[in-house]
């Protein structure tokens, strides 16, 4: 409801207030000082991690703010009123969020991002630098090209001889790469659609693949039932020998394989696939190899952990999320193609009003030719800015420190008789269960349920933020050490808090 129409003059005054550089400067200063206090408090470990409020309460609160604008009476708000309102909004937003920068945030694969990166992102959004065509975002395009080249070579691709792009998230990155694979494997499927006759083409995917892989199969028209899970070894890594058998079997059945989708690493326990062996099998069967390195790709920056990615550069395509282990704010996800020509196989389409035939060479710099997005935010600003300030060493530091935290937590679990680690961690993901003496002989389902209840109490208390998962159908606790400010003392405290909640639940 906007009430009765404003006069054009009032409308212009209100617009002028909204665009006022002075007001922008004042509010930006306010923002800087409030966020400085926020990070000082949160990073130094005070206050809750998650500010838990039930969703309906939060939605009602958010909606109530929409009726509180100082301009609600159809007038032109004064700068002081806007300043006060901005301060109140800011306070509410920070008080109701999840504090990823707390060292007790050990949650999903979303990092305590480096706040400085957000300053570069802010430049992009404040000046609305977007891409699709080079002219609209010349610097955004240049920045993207520069980081694609550097990250790609860091992950083993030959300098100047591959293609890459940035898109809005790992799910979209996997979808983009698998669409390319589908188009290459199935000839004219992009233009003609799928032939109705059997047998249907399949996608072979890691059994623990992130759900976006199956979702991609649905979106691509392959059908989610045509995703064939690749068998795993006892460390939940794709088993190359069994993959070889599976591909031979599928060939025998006359089923075309669009791609093999491997993981570096897989989400549940952070297992890295043996990529060189998988590449041998894919080459033997002449099948497109894709690797979802959304989480683990950043290991390529670390001298100590880079070996986990041996063979990655042999994949036809792979993805890596900078908004995971490169610690930039969401979203900034890379897609890489080993063969640069493949970037034009994704969307065999042109939009003449966008891509200027009078300057054909320039079209190669029009990002919209290779991404799902037409308008795309300058998603690489944060990463480029951080790299420009600290160099690539910072990304190696992040990997080294957080992977080491994973090992330190694992060592503690091994030493504690009332905890059961479910794997030796290869990175910063650690999955385990708390099994106190009283539950030692309990059914697996009971132990799983007990751990789930502990996690719910723990996160609602604001003391820690951790995740739950299912391993072999049984609930477990899952921690991602994805805040490099976490220290060993916080790991000790985590185990103490889990024990405390667990014994209270047992008493109850
Ligand atoms: C292995 C893997 N792939 C893909 C994704 C999805 O990435 P996004 O959340 O950026 O879409 C995730 C998310 O955690 C993941 O762990």
pLDDT of residue 446: 97
State how far the Cα of 308 lies from the Cα of 265, in Å rounded to an integer: 9
Question: What is the end-to-end Cα distance of the chain in Å, rounded?
Answer: 51
pLDDT of residue 364: 83
Residue 116 Cα to ligand 1 middle (Å): 23
Residue 384 Cα to ligand 1 middle (Å): 21
Task: Give span(s): CATH 3.40.640.10, the chain.
Answer: 122-191+198-391
pLDDT of residue 355: 64
Read off the pLDDT of residues 264-293 as tens digits, 9 standing for 90 and up: 999 999 999 999 999 999 999 999 999 999
∠ CA 467-473-474, nearest 5°, is: 60
pLDDT of residue 225: 97
- Closest-lying ligand 1 atom to the alpha carbon of residue 171: 11
Residue 112: is the preceding peptide bond cis (ω within 30°)? no
Pocket flag, ligand 1, residue 321 (CB < 6 Å)? yes
pLDDT of residue 195: 77
Pocket flag, ligand 1, residue 173 (CB < 6 Å)? no
- The CATH number given to 122-191+198-391 is 3.40.640.10
- In the block, tokens 């090209």 appear at 145
Residue 12 Cα to ligand 1 middle (Å): 44
State how far the Cα of 444 lies from the Cα of 466, in Å rounded to an integer: 21
Pocket flag, ligand 1, residue 102 (CB < 6 Å)? no
Read off the pLDDT of residues 214-244 as tens digits, 9 standing for 90 and up: 999 999 999 999 999 999 999 999 999 999 9
pLDDT of residue 348: 82
Pocket flag, ligand 1, residue 451 (CB < 6 Å)? no
- Closest-lying ligand 1 atom to the alpha carbon of residue 266: 1
- Please give the full DSSP string across 379-413, using - where no structure is assigned: TTHHHHHHHHHH-THHHHHHHHHHHHHHHHHHHHH
User: Residue 292 in contact with residue 170, Cβ under 8 Å?
Assistant: yes
CB-based contacts of 86-89 (< 8 A; 24+ apart in sequence): 86/27, 86/30, 86/31, 87/30, 87/34, 89/65
Residue 135 Cα to ligand 1 middle (Å): 31
Q: Choose the CATH number for 394-507 among 3.40.50.10900, 3.40.50.720, 1.10.760.10, 3.90.1150.170.
A: 3.90.1150.170
Residue 4 Cα to ligand 1 middle (Å): 47
pLDDT of residue 196: 76
Pocket flag, ligand 1, residue 217 (CB < 6 Å)? no
Q: How many Cα atoms within 13 Å fall on the side-chain side of residue 262? A: 36
By alpha-carbon position, which residue is closest to atom 7 of ligand 1? 170
Task: Give span(s): CATH 3.90.1150.170, the chain.
Answer: 394-507
Spans of the chain below 50 pLDDT: none
pLDDT of residue 426: 98
From 174, 210, 335, the mutation candidate for ligand 1 (largest count of ligand atoms within 8 A of CB) is: 210
By alpha-carbon position, which residue is closest to atom 8 of ligand 1? 170
Pocket flag, ligand 1, residue 210 (CB < 6 Å)? yes
């Amino acid at each position: 409801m906007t009430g009765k129409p404003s006069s054009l003059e009032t409308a212009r005054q209100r617009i002028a207030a909204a665009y006022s550089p002075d007001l922008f400067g004042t509010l930006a200063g306010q923002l800087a000082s409030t966020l400085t206090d926020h990070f000082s408090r949160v990073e130094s470990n005070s206050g809750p991690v998650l500010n838990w409020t039930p969703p309906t309460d939060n939605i009602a609160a958010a909606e109530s703010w929409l009726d509180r604008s100082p301009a609600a009476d159809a007038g032109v708000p004064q700068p002081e009123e806007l300043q006060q309102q901005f301060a109140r909004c800011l306070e509410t937003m920070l008080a109701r969020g999840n504090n990823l920068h707390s060292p007790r945030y050990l949650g999903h694969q979303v990092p305590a991002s480096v706040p400085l990166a957000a300053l570069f992102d802010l430049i992009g959004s404040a000046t609305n630098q977007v891409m699709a065509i080079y002219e609209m975002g010349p610097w955004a395009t240049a920045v993207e090209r520069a980081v694609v080249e550097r990250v790609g070579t860091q992950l083993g691709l030959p300098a100047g001889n591959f293609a890459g792009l940035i898109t809005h998230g790992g799910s979209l990155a996997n979808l983009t790469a698998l669409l390319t694979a589908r188009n290459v494997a199935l000839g004219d499927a992009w233009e003609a659609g799928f032939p109705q006759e059997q047998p249907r083409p399949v996608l072979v995917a890691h059994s623990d693949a992130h759900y976006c892989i199956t979702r991609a199969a649905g979106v691509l028209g392959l059908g989610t039932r045509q995703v064939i899970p690749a068998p795993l070894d006892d460390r939940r890594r794709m088993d190359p020998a069994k993959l070889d058998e599976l591909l031979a079997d599928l060939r025998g059945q006359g089923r075309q394989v669009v791609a093999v989708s491997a993981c570096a690493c897989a989400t549940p326990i952070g297992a890295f696939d043996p990529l060189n062996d998988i590449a041998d099998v894919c080459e033997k069967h002449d099948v497109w190899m894709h690797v979802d390195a959304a989480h683990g790709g950043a290991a390529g920056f670390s001298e100590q952990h880079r070996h986990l990615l041996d063979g990655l550069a042999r994949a036809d395509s792979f993805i890596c999320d900078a908004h995971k282990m490169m610690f930039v704010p969401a979203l900034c996800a890379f897609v890489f193609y080993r063969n640069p020509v493949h970037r034009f196989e994704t969307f065999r389409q042109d939009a003449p009003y966008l891509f200027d035939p009078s300057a054909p060479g320039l079209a190669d710099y029009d990002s919209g030719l290779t991404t799902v997005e037409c308008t795309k935010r300058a998603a690489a600003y944060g990463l480029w800015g951080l790299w420009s300030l600290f160099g690539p060493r910072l990304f190696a530091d992040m990997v080294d420190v957080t992977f080491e935290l994973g090992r330190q937590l694992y060592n503690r679990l091994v030493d504690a008789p009332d905890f059961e680690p479910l794997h030796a961690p290869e990175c910063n993901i650690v999955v385990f269960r708390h099994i106190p003496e009283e539950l030692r002989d309990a059914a697996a389902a009971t132990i799983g349920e007990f751990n789930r209840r502990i996690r719910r109490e723990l996160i609602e208390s604001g003391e820690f933020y951790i995740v739950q998962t299912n391993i072999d159908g049984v609930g477990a606790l899952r921690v991602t050490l994805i805040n490099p400010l976490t220290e060993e003392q916080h790991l000790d405290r985590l185990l103490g808090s889990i024990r405390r909640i667990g014994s209270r639940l047992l008493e109850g």
